[in-house]
Amino acid sequence: MRLASCVLIIQTMLGASIGADAQAGQVVLYSSNDVQTVSSVVEQFERQNPDVKVAVVRAGTGALMQRIKAEAANPLGDIFWSGGLSTIGAFQEVFEAYRSPQADAVAARYRGPDGLWLGTNTHVSVLMVNVRQVPNGTPPSTWADLADPRWKGKIAIPDPQFSSASYVALYGIRSLLGESIYARIVRNAVVVGTTSAAYQGVANGEFAAAVTMEYAAYQYVAGGLKEIKVVYPAEGTFLSPEGMALIKNAKHPAEARRLYDFLASKPTQALIFERAFRRPLRPDIDVAALSALPPLAGIKTIDLDDSRMEADRAQFLAQWRQLVSSN
């Protein structure tokens, strides 16, 4: 087993810390991406950079942000990849500005002030539908369709308290459709604790539809599961851009910058899309040529104010808990 894989598994399971005396030629990556995606990227990086070894700490974005903040006086990580841009922005004091040569390939709206972060990919909110389970054999074509009583108990929605992508989707739905329709959709839904429980539940036939992310739904389509369809609601949908950042005062800044540039590069972004269907923010990667997914320009999207959405989070989630508890 490769060194990177060993570190990945041990630190994921045991939460081991990276020692302050880590050797030069090492870079410590904090990542919330899945094991397979991280492993494939680390393998490629180490092959191209044989003088650098990557140690990986995997956890959820929120947990890693808190860890980076707690370690600010003695950083044990060098680079974070990847989490929602609004979340990275909320913790920007623990990150260090860096102007990557790859930065100009990404639209300015996905780059942090003075290069504090760089967008890498975006999630697209979709409806994942199992056509064998839909009531009356008619899949939904809009978000508002889910408010119909016939969908009661047939929709899975990940709890937005634990899923940032679900928070974006639900915040967008409420903003788009208003409180009344939004509340009817939530009351029709089965709330699940994780994002994976929603899309796996649809794939297994437990639910007819789920509010989820494009990449998660499309992996089943690409895998040949013919009953699964990806629906882009006609009213429009929402983007959840993600990115990476260098940790301030890191112990291996040169190696961290090399990994950062590698992660932002066109070949690496194309590799990640081919392996995991995570839509890159680089417009020079044609996802339609690599998959059956539409180009981003062909999807109707509705802009959400990231700073407003982050400011509204506590109030939104309090209302969410009240709405779910009254179900």
- 215 annotated binding-site participant: yes
Positions of the chain with pLDDT under 50 = 1-22
Neighbours of 327 (CB within 10 A): 11
| Residue boundaries of the structural domains of the chain | 25-122+240-293, 123-238+301-325
Task: Return the structure tokens found at 324.
Answer: 């779910």
Coil/strand/helix, residue 256: helix
Query: What Rg do the C-alpha atoms of the chain give, in angstroms?
Result: 20
Residue 287 corresponds to which amino acid? V
H helices of 73-210, in order, are 85-90, 164-177, 179-188, 195-203
Architecture of domain 25-122+240-293 in this structure: 3-Layer(aba) Sandwich (3.40)
pLDDT at 57: 97
CB 268 within 8 A of CB 262: yes
Distance CA 295, CA 285 (A): 10
Residue pLDDT, tens place only, 106-144: 999 999 999 999 999 999 999 999 999 999 889 999 999
Provide φ and ψ at 302, rounded to 5°. -120, 125
Query: Do 25-122+240-293 and 123-238+301-325 fold alike per CATH?
Result: yes
pLDDT at 23: 52
pLDDT at 1: 36
Length of the chain: 327
pLDDT at 42: 97
pLDDT at 2: 38
CATH topology assigned to domain 123-238+301-325? D-Maltodextrin-Binding Protein; domain 2 (3.40.190)
Helices and strands in the chain: count of H runs, count of E runs:
13, 11
pLDDT at 86: 84
H helices of 15-162, in order, are 35-48, 61-70, 85-90
Closest CA to 100 of 243, 202, 209: 243
Closest CA to 322 of 187, 126, 218: 187
Closest CA to 43 of 31, 33, 52, 32: 52
pLDDT at 326: 84
